[in-house]
């Protein structure tokens, strides 16, 4: 069976953007202005990249025209800005394969089985794909996706079951609050952390956590998981070593592991692109990698004078989009301005087609 038969029909598009952080989102905008349709792939379940994952609610002061914003707000504004171009989203997926084909296009496969074929690829992967940190317990992997979930536990999986959320950061606390406030909450909800102390960046999370404990809707378990409790092939609990006293078994039916995310370059490192110190080498006129048609922008790239700033990434994405448009047309692309170009205003939906 061929790869195409395994994956289903190929989806043709002008471009694929790998990474849905602010620079990747701006890449979609610039491509849209130039008439390039985009599919966006990101291993995280929502757009925003490290801005949302690492400093969602912290102030950002160096975005032009926005004296102060947050990672979450910036991502929301960018998502609103690219709506006229209707990008196709592949969130919660990772690009697992990239191949050049004879006609100059590229074929990409994702971990969820999507098969994409495009003329241009834009790698806006930041410091790498943010993948969930896993519990270092032998034998856990066979239970992943069945009784063990990373980062987010679907409400349907938690409904009426004994649920343990492992972690102590804001993501873990939000997961607890989301499950507790669900219309179909767990029958028992536990928060497992190495100690019974939490210092969330958002004070409202601490207040809500205290309320759940006072109401008896949440138990906090202090300790480190040291082993699995498995019966007839199913995970039924964790063996816990507390800060003091003997080990004990914490029963569960579903486990949500919320231990944060770790950036890894992943399959990108195996695509044969020129690299220096784990970053992609690009030219500064087209922001093209060593493979024509594959561009890279943002923190994943290196070149003389590179600065890891969002502003720099927005500039890089703009030049990369023009290069891709010129490659597709085989001719230079005239510069137009959104203030005066009827053509661009039609693409933005400001004027009727």
Rounded CA-CA distance 177/36 in Å is 41
In Å, what is the CA distance from 43 to each residue of 1, 91, 266, 320, 326? 27, 6, 11, 22, 29
Q: How confident is the model at residue 125 (pLDDT cuts 50, 70, 90)?
A: confident
Q: Per this entry, what is the length of the chain?
A: 353
Across 271-295, average pLDDT:
94
Of the candidate ranges 153-157, 245-249, 293-297, the one whose mean pLDDT is the lowest: 153-157
Residue 174 above 80 pLDDT?
yes
Q: What is the pLDDT of residues 139-157, one digit of tens each?
A: 998 998 899 998 778 889 9
Rounded CA-CA distance 176/216 in Å is 13
Token pair recorded at residue 205: 């999370």
pLDDT at 128: 63
Query: Which alpha helices (DSSP H) does 85-238 contain, by range?
Result: 155-158, 170-180, 203-214
pLDDT at 270: 83
Q: What is the pLDDT of residues 2-19, one digit of tens each?
A: 344 344 589 999 999 999
Across 254-263, average pLDDT:
83
Across 322-333, average pLDDT:
96
Give Rg (Cα) of the chain: 23
H or E element in which residue 325 lies = helix 310-329
Rounded CA-CA distance 32/174 in Å is 35
In the chain the domains, ranked by start, together with CATH numbers, are 3-131+262-347 (3.50.50.60), 134-259 (3.50.50.60)
Residue 1 above 50 pLDDT?
no
Long-range contacts of 275-279 (CB under 8 A, 24+ apart): 276/302, 277/302
pLDDT at 18: 95
Percent of the chain at pLDDT > 70 equals 95
Q: What angle do CA 14, 129, 308 make, to 5 degrees?
A: 85
Residue 202 above 90 pLDDT?
no
Across 242-253, average pLDDT:
95
Residue 179 above 80 pLDDT?
yes
What letters, b where the CB count within 10 A reaches 16 and e where it falls short, cover 8-43? eebbebbbbbbbbbbbbbbbbbbbbbbebbbbbbbb
Handedness of CA 214, 218, 219, 224 (dihedral sign): negative
């Amino acid at each position: 069976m061929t790869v195409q038969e395994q994956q289903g029909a190929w989806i043709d598009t002008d471009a694929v953007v790998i990474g849905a952080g602010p620079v990747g989102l701006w890449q979609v905008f610039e491509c849209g202005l130039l008439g390039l349709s985009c599919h966006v792939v990101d291993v995280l379940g929502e757009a925003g990249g490290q801005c949302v994952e690492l400093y969602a609610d912290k102030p950002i002061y160096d975005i032009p025209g926005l004296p102060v914003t947050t990672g979450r707000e910036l991502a929301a504004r960018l998502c609103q800005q690219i709506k006229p171009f209707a990008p196709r989203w592949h969130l919660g997926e990772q690009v697992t394969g990239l191949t050049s084909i004879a006609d100059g296009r590229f074929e990409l496969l994702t971990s969820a089985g999507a098969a994409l074929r495009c003329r241009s690829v834009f790698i806006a992967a930041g410091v790498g794909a943010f993948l969930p940190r896993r519990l270092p317990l032998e034998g856990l992997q066979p239970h992943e996706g069945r009784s063990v979930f990373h980062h987010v536990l679907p409400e349907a999986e938690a409904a009426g079951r004994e649920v343990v959320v492992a972690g102590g950061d804001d993501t873990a606390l939000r997961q607890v609050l989301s499950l507790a406030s669900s219309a179909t909450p767990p029958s028992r909800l536990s928060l497992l952390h190495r100690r019974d102390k939490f210092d969330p960046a958002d004070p409202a999370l601490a207040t809500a956590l205290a309320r759940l404990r006072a109401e008896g809707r949440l138990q906090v378990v202090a300790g480190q998981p040291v082993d699995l409790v498995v019966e007839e092939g199913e995970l039924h609990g964790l063996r816990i070593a507390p800060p003091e006293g003997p080990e004990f078994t914490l029963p569960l039916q579903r486990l949500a592991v919320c231990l944060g995310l770790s950036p890894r370059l992943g399959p990108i490192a195996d695509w044969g692109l020129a690299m220096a110190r784990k970053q992609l080498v690009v030219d500064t006129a087209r922001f093209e990698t060593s493979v024509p048609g594959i561009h890279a922008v943002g923190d994943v790239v290196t070149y003389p004078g590179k600065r890891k700033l969002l502003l720099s990434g927005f500039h890089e994405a703009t030049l990369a989009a023009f290069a891709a448009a010129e490659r597709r047309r085989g001719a230079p692309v005239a510069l137009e301005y959104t203030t005066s170009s009827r053509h661009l205003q039609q693409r933005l939906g400001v004027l009727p087609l």
